A and B are shown apart, each in its own frame.
Chain A
């Protein structure tokens, strides 16, 4: 099928790490995105230090306090409190943890499945390739949101279930990219040389093939992480993703939507945080792709 086999893939342009680094540093949008992403990671890691309050502590006598720039706001709760009286800034900071945790975990699960499948298909070809291609095509034919929603609705939703479901659904692009990258690397001279010298297949795949296609892997991983974070947010928005009281940004938008006409910041803050994170990841991912294969910027 079309997209399973013909997704645009950058021609393998494996170059020295130092040259890549130099090119990366020369790219402003990559630097910006990467810097922003680092900031999000720092926020996530330091959330317990940075947060002025316990993000779960509810206080029904201090509800709906607006942020400090409003007349009724105060500095005790710089970004105000939510309708249950929980400190909004603290929840936003902790929310970064959840989004990043989801992005990273989903990509690890999906990456492991997809990369394995893609490597095997690309390296061995033949029947294995056909089987993998068929599985990828089947997976692509299933509407991700619908299947994820249905499964989560049936078996119950929690952070880890959402991660697992998304991880088991989002391996397709890894498999596709790994497959074609492996096919290209495979025919290179030194692999043939390694094969001739009697190295085991596992050794060749892990030692020779994988390192050479790692840059592509990283690009796919960043873009898939962004998509996983967005999917979690959409599931949570529909009430079938991460469950309260966890401060997922998607859930926060969902909880604040009834307030949006009169307390716009309640929805604007988590919504913007989410958009900014995705923006940073995409920028870094796009930049990385350009760095790895500058001739294929698309």
Chain B
């Protein structure tokens, strides 16, 4: 087990390193960071000075290693646009995005688990078909379009919810729905498939034969087993949610990481962009690592393969 964890940890580190390198070189490809720092009225001489002071005249590889070492030691650099410490900027926005990500996930599970379970129990009935229809329609609706419709309905027409900002939990309701509904279908399909498989398995038949109620069978036996792949998917989807938050946070002016990412992209704020891409990748790598370890612990066969 320990060997397995060490191996996977090594791989995770390598992946994070690769992403950081790709992000760094990609973002530096064409943008002249010196011009961005210099601002209006900069002369060639100013640019030269800036290149020197920021070390931009060195080879890109050296700059990358320098940036990496600094980042690893906790120095994330200074935002070109906001002239503030990147670490402070990013970590101030992190809670908003975390709340949004987790609440979206909770919302997605809240609709997908019951629907998936019902669809499996009553496979090929109208409930199954309804659940499928909801899934297919859900996946087809672009989230920005859905978000705008929510604003129309809940803020303008009904006036139940505030439009934008992050002042109270009410501010999170619409972004949560807009972000969460989109990942719900994937969960629903997975739960349905898993449930169907488990329900037809021998031990469930045995449990039924022993006279356990259907409720007990479904909840205590089938659902628990069907949940294993869901855990793995959760890790993947959470990473996906963080990416999707760019669009949703911008629409709702929700001051999180996604919105900051959008701002830093439009302001060509390279230091901030790099750190956000790296952070999201690390979060993703960590989540999949945890899911791997959890799965290996649950299912010893994985460890061997």
**A residues whose Cβ falls under 8 Å from a Cβ of B:** 1-3, 6, 8, 134, 137-138, 140-147, 149-151, 153-155, 226, 230, 233-234, 237-238, 240, 250, 253, 257, 260-261, 264, 267, 271, 274-276, 278-279, 282-283, 286, 296-298
Q: A6-B232, A137-B11, A298-B189 are in contact. Are A234 and B144 (CB under 8 A)?
A: yes
Interface size class of B (residues with CB under 8 A): 35 or more
**Which of B139, B232, B285 is close to A141, meaning CB atoms less than 8 Å apart?**
B285
Q: Which 7 A-B pairs have the closest CB atoms?
A: A298-B193, A279-B140, A143-B243, A271-B145, A278-B140, A141-B281, A2-B232
Min CB distance B262 to A, Å, is 7
Give the most central of A3, A146, A240: most B CB within 10 Å: A146
Pair A234/B247 contact, Cβ less than 8 Å: yes
- Nearest neighbor of A296 in chain B, beta-carbon distance: B193
Give the CA-CA distance A271 to B285 in the complex, in Å.
Answer: 34
Q: A134-B15, A282-B140 are in contact. Are A149 and B236 (CB under 8 A)?
A: no
Pair B145/A275 contact, Cβ less than 8 Å: yes
Min CB distance A236 to B, Å, is 10
Q: A3-B288, A234-B247 are in contact. Are A274 and B30 (CB under 8 A)?
A: no
Pair A278/B144 contact, Cβ less than 8 Å: no
Min CB distance A225 to B, Å, is 13
Pair B15/A137 contact, Cβ less than 8 Å: yes
Residues in B256-305 with C-beta less than 8 Å from chain A: 261-262, 265-266, 268, 273, 276-277, 280-281, 284-285, 288-289, 291-292, 295
Min CB distance A65 to B, Å, is 22
Give the CA-CA distance A27 to B136 in the complex, in Å.
Answer: 16
B164 interface hit (Cβ, 8 Å): no
Contacts of B239 on A, CB cut-off 8 Å?
140-141, 143
Residues in B183-215 with C-beta less than 8 Å from chain A: 189-190, 192-193
B77 interface hit (Cβ, 8 Å): no
Min CB distance B103 to A, Å, is 19
Min CB distance A126 to B, Å, is 15
